C-alpha cells in the first residue's frame, strides 16, 4: 500500500509520500525484502513544472497510467489531467492531481470518482489514522529571512499557514515511516526515512523535488550520513546516496525499473551515473565533495 498526502492552499501547494512497495514477500514470510531498489518507487511524479501526480493502490496500473499521461500531455498540453485519469476507470488505483498554475488546485481520484480538496490523501486508511496520531502541532520559526552574500538580513516574512502545514506533514510522514520499521507486514516505508517531498519552490515558483542531507552525528561513524539529491531539469526525479557502504538509489520519473540501485564509489560518480543513464541533473548537499 501507500500513503501520499497533498495540500493546495492560496499560499503554497505540496505533496509528501512514502516509497515502499507491497510485494509477495509479505505474504510468504513477512519480509520487506533487501534494500536493493526492488521494493521502492517514486510515488509522486512531477510531470511538468505545474503538474504532479501522486499514486496509490495497484502500482503497476497506476504507474503505467501516469507514464501514458505524461506522453499525452507532451502531445497536447491543453489536456485536462484529472479528467484524463478518471476516464481510464482504473478502479484499483487512486490518484492525487496537484496543479500549480495561477490557481493552486488539488484533486482526489478514488475508485474512479473525482473530488477537489485543500487537504487530501490516498493510500492505506489504517496508516492514515496512524499518521494523524503522529502529526504534531507546528513548533518551528515564526519568520523566514532572506540573507544577502554578506550575511545581512534583507527581508523577513512570516511563515504562512501552508508552510507550517508542509513542515507538520513532512515530520509526521517521516515519523510514520520510522514507526513502520520492524513491523511484520508494513505497508508504508522509505529508505532510511527518506520520504519524497515536492512543493512549489520559493524561488522558481515551480513544482520541485526537495533535497536533504544528513551527516553522521556519532563519533564511531564519522563518515556516515546520506544525501537526497533532486533533479528538476531536464529529467525529473531524486537520488539517495549513502557514504557508508557507497550505496545509492536513483528514482527517475517514468523510469523502468522505477528504482535503480547504484554502487558508485563516490558521490560524484553517483551524480555522473544519474546524468549519463537517465539524463538527470542531480543537485543538493554533500560532505565537502565537489560534484
Q: Is 64 exposed, middle or buried (0-12, 13-18, 19+ CB in 10 A)?
A: middle
pTM over 0.85: yes
Is residue 224's pLDDT more than 80? no
Q: CB under 8 Å to 144, separation ≥6 — which residues?
A: 156, 157, 159, 163
Higher pLDDT, 146 or 79: 79
* Alpha-carbon distances of 86 from 96, 109, 224, rounded to whole Å: 11, 7, 45
Q: Which CATH number fits domain 3-210: 3.10.450.350, 3.60.20.10, 1.10.10.10, 3.40.50.720?
A: 3.60.20.10
User: At CA 260, angle to CA 284 and CA 194, rounded to 5?
Assistant: 45
**What mean pLDDT comes out for the span 34-61?**
83
Q: Beta partners for 283? A: 230
Domain residue ranges in the chain: 3-210, 211-291
Higher pLDDT, 182 or 131: 131
- Please give the helix or strand (H or E) that residue 48 lies within, else none: strand 44-48
Structure-block grid coordinates of residue 118? 485543500
SS3 at position 57: strand
Which candidate, 35, 33, 19, 36, places its Cα nearest to that of 261?
36
* 47 alpha-carbon distance from chain centroid: 13
Instruction: Specify the pLDDT at position 117.
Output: 97
* Alpha-carbon distances of 215 from 173, 226, 227, rounded to whole Å: 21, 7, 8
Instruction: Specify the pLDDT at position 6.
Output: 98
**What mean pLDDT comes out for the span 262-277?**
93
**What mean pLDDT comes out for the span 41-66?**
93
Structure-block grid coordinates of residue 160? 504562512
Per-residue pLDDT band at 139 (split at 50, 70, 90) = very high
Give the Cα separation of 133 and 176 in Å (integer): 9
Number of Cβ within a 10 Å radius of residue 150 = 6
Number of Cβ within a 10 Å radius of residue 195 = 28
SS3 at position 53: strand
Length of the chain: 291
Q: What is the pLDDT of residues 65-99, one digit of tens each?
A: 999 999 999 999 999 999 999 999 998 999 999 99
**What mean pLDDT comes out for the span 154-171?**
93
Instruction: Specify the pLDDT at position 195.
Output: 87
Amino acid at each position: 500500500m501507500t500513503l501520499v498526502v497533498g495540500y493546495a492552499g492560496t499560499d503554497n501547494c505540496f505533496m509528501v509520500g512514502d516509497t515502499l512497495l507491497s510485494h509477495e514477500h509479505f505474504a510468504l514470510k513477512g519480509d520487506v525484502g533487501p534494500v536493493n531498489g526492488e521494493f521502492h518507487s517514486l510515488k509522486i511524479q512531477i510531470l511538468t513544472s505545474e503538474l504532479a501526480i501522486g499514486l496509490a493502490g495497484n502500482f503497476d496500473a497506476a504507474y503505467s497510467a501516469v507514464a501514458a499521461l505524461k506522453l499525452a500531455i507532451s502531445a497536447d498540453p491543453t489536456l485536462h489531467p484529472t479528467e484524463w485519469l478518471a476516464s481510464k476507470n482504473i478502479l484499483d488505483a487512486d490518484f492525487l492531481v496537484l496543479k500549480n498554475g495561477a490557481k493552486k488546485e488539488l484533486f482526489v481520484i478514488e475508485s474512479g470518482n473525482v473530488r477537489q480538496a485543500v487537504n487530501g490523501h490516498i493510500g492505506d486508511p489504517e496508516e492514515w489514522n496512524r499518521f494523524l496520531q503522529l502529526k504534531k502541532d507546528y513548533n518551528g520559526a515564526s519568520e523566514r529571512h532572506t540573507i544577502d552574500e554578506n550575511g545581512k538580513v534583507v527581508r523577513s516574512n512570516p511563515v504562512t499557514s501552508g508552510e507550517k502545514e508542509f513542515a507538520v506533514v513532512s515530520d509526521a510522514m517521516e515519523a510514520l515511516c520510522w514507526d513502520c520499521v520492524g513491523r511484520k507486514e508494513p505497508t508504508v516505508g522509505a529508505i532510511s526515512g527518506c520520504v519524497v517531498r515536492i512543493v512549489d519552490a520559493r524561488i522558481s515558483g515551480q513544482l520541485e523535488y526537495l533535497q536533504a542531507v544528513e551527516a553522521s552525528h556519532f563519533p564511531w561513524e564519522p563518515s556516515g550520513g546520506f544525501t537526497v539529491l533532486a533533479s528538476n531539469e531536464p529529467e525529473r526525479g531524486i537520488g539517495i546516496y549513502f557514504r557508508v557502504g557507497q550505496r545509492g538509489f536513483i528514482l527517475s520519473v517514468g523510469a523502468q525499473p522505477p528504482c535503480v540501485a547504484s554502487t558508485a564509489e563516490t558521490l560524484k560518480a553517483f551524480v555522473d551515473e544519474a546524468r549519463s543513464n537517465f539524463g538527470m541533473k542531480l543537485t543538493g548537499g554533500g560532505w565537502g565533495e565537489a560534484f
